Structure 1
Amino acid sequence: MRSSKRMIALVCAGAMSTWLSCTADKQQDEDTFNTQINGKEVNLYHLRNNHGMEMSVTNYGGRVVKLVVPNKDGQLEDVVLGFDSVQEYRESSEAYFGAAIGRYGNRIANGRFTLDGEEYELARNNGPNALHGGPGGFHNVVWEVVEFDDQRIVLQYISADWEEGYPGRLEVQMSYHLTDDNEFRIDYKANTDRKTVVNLTHHSFFNLNGAGKADVRDHVLQLNASAFTPVDSVLIPYGEIRAVAGTPFDFTKATAIGGRIDQDHEQLQFGGGYDHNFVLDKEEVGAMTLAATVFAPQTGIKMEVFTTEPGIQFYSGNFLDGSVSGKDGRTYGYRGAFCLETQHFPDSPNQPNFPSTELESGDTYTQTSIYKFSVQK
């Protein structure tokens, strides 16, 4: 593992006139992240590509703390919500800001599922349901850093048999790569010694106007999804795959996030806005395809999401309420961010007509998702 001073030098290298201020900023950041949790070392790691795009990652929860990209005027914007210290993440752990999610992203009904005739009971942390792997999920553990350089970090976590109620010892490796195409690329790999269910995802809260700057209702979203999975009042899918045509869920053409969000529609009422899984239009299972495009007119920042996964959860910041003070003391207000979580479908272990999330011993779980940034004037 590289020392903190070496990590600072990697991302601050450049013109000498900016090096000292960059070093001071990075050192201040690291002072609030260097700690130990349950006897494991936690640090902050800085990545930077050759075009000035930067990302900061903590191995506590595999969280993306900062993601800095240029806007249409050439100024840098931090486009993800987060906090200035590990302690704040621990105190607000259910916010999931920037976190790795597992073992099972999204909800499992009543915290139960059956696998090969045996019922498993999970920790319930979302009303009657299990959400995002439970309170001790991957967002709340310390990951081991197994590789690190100026553009890539590889994190590893071994989830014990029965952790949060899930069967099997699951070995997970996750790579974050900041490419020179201004992509934030995530590669996942997992193996188990016993049949289990796995659904990994990433949970950055994005605001392309800049974290804590205005809301995201002006962001223009397009989803390559002609169907979604409607839910009940506790956001568990019925098992139906419903066409989006003629509904406020039709983002097959670019539409402002806030354009129809307040319509009188049962599904919007259940979610308090958008908090739904969209079924991606794919000709080949597991193929890397464009899932979503988001554009912020204020900054000109465009984000494209590519994934090998069959679904994507679009969440419109419905539960942000201004009570959370984040980085630099900025308040995260109502609809102050959106999430696009690439995934298999919610509650798949209980829905036989959904794509399977079962992983057999001896098989390898893999998936790749990419968040690519550019400027559109």
Structure 2
Amino acid sequence: MIKTSLLRQVSRASTTAVRPPTSALLTRQATRGIRITPPARSEEDKDKHDEYSTAGKPGAFEHEGQFSRTDKRIRVEYPEEENLPSSAPVQGRGGFHFRRTLSSFSLEGRSAIVTGGARGLGLVMSQACVVSGSDVAIVDLNKEEGEKQAKLLEETFRKENPGATRVPKVTAHYCDVSKPESVNQALAEIIEAHGKVDHLVTSAGFTENFDAIEYPHDRIQKLWGVNVDGTYLWACAVAKHLMERKAAGSVVMIGSMSGAIVNVPQPQAPYNAAKAAVRHLASSLAVEWAHAGIRVNCISPGYMLTALTKKILDDNPELAQKWTSLIPQGKMGRPEDLMGAVTFLLSDAAGYVTGADLRVDGGYTVT
């Protein structure tokens, strides 16, 4: 019996070993590891469009990537404080309003801080707050320029609102936004002058253009200190003040479309990364402070024709054509194009808006 059983097993094993492979087995083998290398295509078989794909040789055409690469020859260093061009309040944005709009857009009875508020985008957003009825504390590294602009903003409001029973109060305060002790001192002065703070706009920031490998490290640290640290320090300081008062409030961080895309042709990797940090910081703090009724949003402007931008274009005239060729609307923005955006996000009209990134860029980032 044992011999018979063994003989049967040997017979079955030998029969299985010589059994020809089935089609299912071949299919399994093919999918598991058998690779068939396609034959090389002859010159006659090549499609005429291959040169436009990765099948073609790099550099086959002069236009390849020409509108989507940085140019290391472009170098723009942010001017020293004394060399920065001055700005002027926007004319014709105040006055009596005969067209009705939502009362929730009003900032009457509020008090706002605008960092970097003595020039450029910061000055225009300070004016937006004033026109909407808010008192404003201009925070800037150049207190003298801030005091000059504070006076001009009040004068402009009086001129354009001759029948106004109340003129918003505008003050100026020195601050190095990258230093905690300077931020705390400036905030204490503002609370003493205005009694409270309801809103914050973090407009202090700057950009430079250096090839990443050649960018001086001390300048990178300065850039991050102002753009990122300054935004974080002021946001936390104002949030703490609001929580101590058990008051709701709103923070608008000024980012940039550069936080979502890579600008060309000018190289500016550290700035782009800094603005990406600001954008995500706004989202993170919006979640963290929602329980306290503090809304945090971000505005990401595109190319804006500020006084400083005009100076850059005077030195690099070819940039204007390259920049506007990449903007669907075909034009750069004006600083006053941000007035409505910042007023909306600060006001009660945006009461259910937090953690948002509002891009004001003429459509640049959607193409």
TM, length-normalised to structure 1: 0.30
Which structure has the larger Rg? 2
Structure whose residues are more often helix by fraction: 2
